[in-house]
Chains A and B, each alone.
Chain A
Amino acid sequence: MALFTLPLLVAVIPCVLCTTDLAKAPPLVDERIKEALLGTSVRNEVTAPEVRPAVDDHKYDNPRTLVVLDPIEMKDSFTRFFKQMEAAGHRLAYRKVRDSDVDKEMFRHGERAFNNVVLFLRAPFPSSDALRSLFGQLLSFMDDGGNLLIATGASVQGNSDGSGDDTAAVASSAQWKELRTFANELGMDLDRRGWVLRDHFAFHGSDEGQHSMITSDKILRSTPVVDDKALGGPVAYRGVGHWLSPSNSLTFSILRASPTTYSAPASVEEDAGYRGDKQENTFLVSAMQAHNSARAVFSGSLDMFSDEFFLLSNVSNSQFCGQLAAWTCHQTGVLRSINLRHHKYDEESAPYMYRIMDNITFSIDIQEIKQGKWVAYMGDDVQVEFVMLDPYLRLFLDNKASSGTFTTNFKAPDHWGVFKFVIDHRRQGYTFLHIEEQAPLRNFKHDDYARFIWCAFPYYGSVFSTIAAVVGFSFIFLSSA
């Protein structure tokens, strides 16, 4: 007997010990896991980590803007432009290109430290190495969502009567190559080194010499970039031109030269009879809005922003440059969407799933920034697509009473699967709006079908009369046997 009980005890005792241990041990699901699962914080003693304000927090009303100049005293020639920017809420920081800190300051601890960069370059240019490093940094700045306003070209050092010293603006070929390469990255093709634009018809009255102070009123219209109605006259410009590839959908010109403008080497005297090559579409100021909605604006004239040009009579450089800077720095032409909702036509909230051929109501609020405030977007060509790999429906959204609430009703297609609503709104001068929201469609459930349809009653009747006939026949057949 003892022989049997001993192994039994040996087997039972550890089990008992284990169970008592388990009772003392902490529960398997501890509080932290519960918190993670339930998404609510049960404990109060956890202090929130110190949050450093992100640079984009005041992107629209109080942006941080880095002004890169060389030499730093150059800013005295642009006081009016920078005053305008400060009035628009910018917090400006001035740095020299040759400052080795410029690269580091643009990103601090790996985070972008500025919303915008204004880069003013003129001869004598920094060394090509310094330029290459700066441009590389600027490209990563844009990749991260920062905006860039860049102006270069002929110098303001020219005599105030415009009689020329354009040669002072000539960069070395290595420097110009860096500049052209960078402009190419932005989708622009810069003119040859040392060439300037001239126009013997559209020039400013104060330019009695080489007619390099040209004017143009060919401003991009009907976009939020520049409000051409608010401008009092043409824009004065002195510098180089550039061209855009028509196949690049991200770039567009804001200011174009008049057809009589031509490009010629700065050193060639008018009397030499040199005509230069006339270009139909010489661009003066162009913009590139990247896929991440970061904006780069390139101007081939630095003088355009100068106090000298701001004070000229009969031109609207002051307003134009102010609007240009505001657009570049995401203070105009920015869209956002809020409050996306969709539901069945006669219901209030979205169901778990839509059924094929349901009537669906889709609506979304789209807002545009104006003077630092979000106001209703006035567009009337916003479309929503109902997509399963291909768009099955593409519908205009109705901007109800211009309230910024865009709505449509539609009947879901007779095709079930994983659908989604897609809004891909790309309009010139506005940031890109891309919204996707999944809304799968299911087929009819067995109880979704209608029953007892009146026009089917003959069929029901025929089935039951057949059954009755067969049963009746069976009785008679068997009883007659």
Chain B
Amino acid sequence: MKALSGFVSTLTDIAKSGFQQYKKVTPDRVKLLDLLVIFLGYTAVVQLLYCFIVGSFPFNSFLSGFICCVGSMTLTIGLRVQLMDPEEFKITAERAFADYLVCNLVLFLTVINFLG
């Protein structure tokens, strides 16, 4: 029992220090990015639950809603990776962001066509 509570307190310590480190080291723009990722993931999960409860009709609407969130989330994570590691990707932040916007535009157009 003592060992378990010790283990839990160790875990919380690690999480706390990790969060402190995240707040200190990560740039504000990237924090914003992470917030977006969390929002999109949350929306996707809610839609999945809703689909389980209500049923898959209309399936095309569900697919477009779900894929829109997951796709946009994937693109956002991609942008984050590119921003955090400029040595690896060798492109400027502006170029990466422009790519991100174009990809999102294509995704949204597709999804809206499939939504009805």
Contact = CB atoms under 8 A, between A and B. Distances in A.
Interface of A: 449-451, 453, 455-456, 458-460, 462-463, 465-467, 469-470, 473-474, 476-478, 480-481
A108 to B, nearest CB: 70
A466 B68 contact: yes
Given A462-B47, A462-B69, A476-B32, A453 B61 contact: yes
Which 7 interchain pairs have the tightest Cβ spacing?
Answer: A459-B65, A456-B61, A459-B61, A462-B65, A463-B68, A473-B36, A456-B58
Interface in B81-113: 93, 97, 101, 104, 108, 111-112
Interface residues of B, number: 33
7 contacts: A455-B55, A456-B58, A459-B115, A463-B108, A466-B108, A473-B32, A481-B29
A463 B114 CA distance: 11
Given A451-B116, A460-B115, A473-B32, A466 B72 contact: yes
Contacts of B64: 459, 463
A447 to B, nearest CB: 10
A456 B40 contact: no
Residues of B contacting A: mostly? helix
A468 to B, nearest CB: 11
B68 A462 contact: yes
Nearest to B63: A459
B104 A463 contact: no
A17 B61 CA distance: 70
Contacts of B55: 455
Interface in B21-67: 28-29, 32-33, 36, 39-40, 43, 46-47, 50, 54-55, 57-58, 61-62, 64-66
B43 A465 contact: yes
A463 B111 contact: yes
B36 A469 contact: yes
- Specify which of B61, B64, B66, B115 lies most central, judged by the most chain A CB atoms within 10 Å of its CB: B61
A371 B47 CA distance: 73
- Specify which of A449, A453, A456, A467 lies most central, judged by the most chain B CB atoms within 10 Å of its CB: A456
Given A459-B64, A459-B65, A466 B43 contact: yes
Contacts of A473: 32-33, 36
A480 B58 contact: no
Contacts of A455: 54-55, 57-58
B50 A470 contact: no
B30 to A, nearest CB: 10
A425 to B, nearest CB: 41
A459 B57 CA distance: 11
A463 B112 contact: yes
A451 to B, nearest CB: 6
A480 B40 contact: no
A458 B47 contact: yes
B115 A463 contact: yes
B79 to A, nearest CB: 9
Contacts of A463: 64-65, 68, 108, 111-112, 115
Contacts of A462: 43, 46-47, 65-66, 68-69
